[in-house]
Amino acid sequence: MIDGQQLWKKRMIAHLAEVRRYGRYMFNDHLLLVLFIGIGASAVFYKRAVDELVSFPYAVVASLLLAFAVTQGGVRTFVKEADAVFFLPIERRLRPYFWRAAIYSFFLHLYVSLIVFVVLLPLHFQFSSQPLFIVLLAIVLLTGWNMFVQWQEEARIGRDHFHTFVRFLTNATFFYFLFLQQYVWMFVPLLFMVILARYVEQKGRKSGLQWEQLLADERRRMQAFYRIAHAFVDVPHMKHTVKKRTSLRFLFRLLARLHMRPYTYLYVRTFFRAGDYFGLFVRLTAIGSVFIFTLPRGVEWFALLCSYATAVQLLSLRLHHRGHPLLSLYPISSVEAHRSFMSVLLTIGVNQAFIFGMVAYIAHGVFTMLSTFFIVFICYGAIIVYMRKKREAA
């Protein structure tokens, strides 16, 4: 007989052991030192920049960031491929298992949301009079509501990206009125939240568990972790996915006419279509651009932090096709492949530096644009030199 509590305990212990195993390679002494220096320097410049601000749209920025944090409320189930077959007849007995999965996921997402709010604290103390207890209570309630609604959609009803967008707007509206202390208007998103929760609960009762969707979500979350770990150590569990990117077909046709080197062409297409490399680049570039545009000083360090995070996570692109048997058919040396990867990484860095520089020029002027561009360019150049030295030493 299946015991849901014991099953969850075994799956949880196995997951933590795997995270610790790869975490030893990811958070080594060198990376921890860089993170410590980067976070410390960023915190100092961030505090100084906030102290110099006279006006700032804190309610808008904070509501959007917190809404984005609490909207990501999926439940980590740790389900495996065979569960869809063996556990299908005994779904009702697994309620203790999924209940513990919900509790674990709630505190995990709450932790992330609280980190976002901690980053916003200097701005909150200067531009908002809302008590911290009220904001923390709102974060807790909205994290639980989003996780409940998303669980019903993922596990029983079916995922809908439009519903996710609606939840994001609802969260942002609620936080916006909260920071403005417009408590009467807060009842509008609150009423919608109650109606939506009731709707998904009643609709979810009529359906069984969507095992294929649960497996796909769990696989996607684990692959995201493996992609980060793959930048530091070989991960045998990596499963690569390919995305169509129909909006970039014109770019692929242009690349085919440029007659570039084979590995260069392969890495460029891999960057756009495989895994989440392109999405990672877009997200970190967007986050860095927002900070560069809004902060009055120290924007170069935020650009450096975002560019370093981008470059480090893109290093796994070099190993994306390693071990593929078709690559051995081409009479191309590993030196040529390494050179092609470095040129692609440098091109990505130049584009990110150009974007950061343009945003800095619009918000701060020519000098900040030049300093931002060169700092980002030097960051990518230093990583490329380090990889070259590491390869020569090996």
* Residue 165 in this model has a pLDDT that exceeds 90: no
* Residue 134 in this model has a pLDDT that exceeds 60: yes
Helices marked H in the chain? 4-26, 29-52, 58-71, 83-86, 95-127, 132-152, 161-179, 187-205, 211-230, 249-257, 262-273, 277-294, 299-314, 334-363, 366-393
User: What is the residue-wise DSSP string for 84-146?
Assistant: HHHSGGGGGGGHHHHHHHHHHHHHHHHHHHHHHHHHHHHHHHHH----HHHHHHHHHHHHHHH
* Residue 62 in this model has a pLDDT that exceeds 70: yes
Q: How far apart are CA 268 and CA 248, in angstroms?
A: 12
Q: Which of 31-45, 71-85, 311-325 has the highest mean pLDDT?
A: 71-85
- Written as six digits, the tokens of 89 are 């007849």
Residue 362 — pLDDT band, cuts 50, 70, 90?
A: confident
Mean pLDDT of 167-180: 92
* Residue 25 in this model has a pLDDT that exceeds 80: no
Give tens-digit pLDDT for 176-186: 999 988 888 88
Q: How far apart are CA 103 and CA 245, in angstroms?
A: 36
- Written as six digits, the tokens of 323 are 């071990």
Phi, psi (rounded to 5 degrees) for 210: -90, 85
For residue 254, what pLDDT is reported? Answer: 63
Residue 382 — pLDDT band, cuts 50, 70, 90?
A: confident
For residue 230, what pLDDT is reported? Answer: 65
Mean pLDDT of 26-44: 71
For residue 66, what pLDDT is reported? Answer: 92
Query: Using alpha carbons only, what angle is made at residue 51 by residues 46 and 56, rounded to the nearest 5 degrees?
Result: 85
- CA-to-CA dists, residue 102 to 145, 151, 221, 293, 335, angstroms: 12, 9, 15, 38, 48
For residue 393, what pLDDT is reported? Answer: 64
Length of the chain: 394
For residue 251, what pLDDT is reported? Answer: 64
Q: How far apart are CA 259 and CA 143, in angstroms?
A: 50
> What is the dihedral sign for C-alpha 295, 299, 305, 309?
positive
For residue 63, what pLDDT is reported? Answer: 92
Instruction: Please indicate, yes or no, whether the overall pTM of this predicted structure exceeds 0.75.
Output: no
Residue 264 — pLDDT band, cuts 50, 70, 90?
A: confident
For residue 238, what pLDDT is reported? Answer: 63
Give tens-digit pLDDT for 205-262: 777 778 888 888 888 888 777 777 766 666 666 665 655 555 556 565 666 566 667 7
* Residue 358 in this model has a pLDDT that exceeds 80: yes
Phi, psi (rounded to 5 degrees) for 331: -80, 60
Closest by alpha carbon to 144, among 65, 205, 70? 70
Give tens-digit pLDDT for 311-343: 888 887 777 766 666 666 666 677 777 788 888
Contact 2, 87 (CB under 8 A): yes
What percent of the chain is modeled with pLDDT above 70? 85
The per-residue pLDDT of the chain, averaged, comes to 81
* Residue 366 in this model has a pLDDT that exceeds 70: yes
- CA-to-CA dists, residue 13 to 18, 232, 346, angstroms: 9, 23, 41
For residue 378, what pLDDT is reported? Answer: 87
Q: How far apart are CA 169 and CA 41, in angstroms?
A: 34
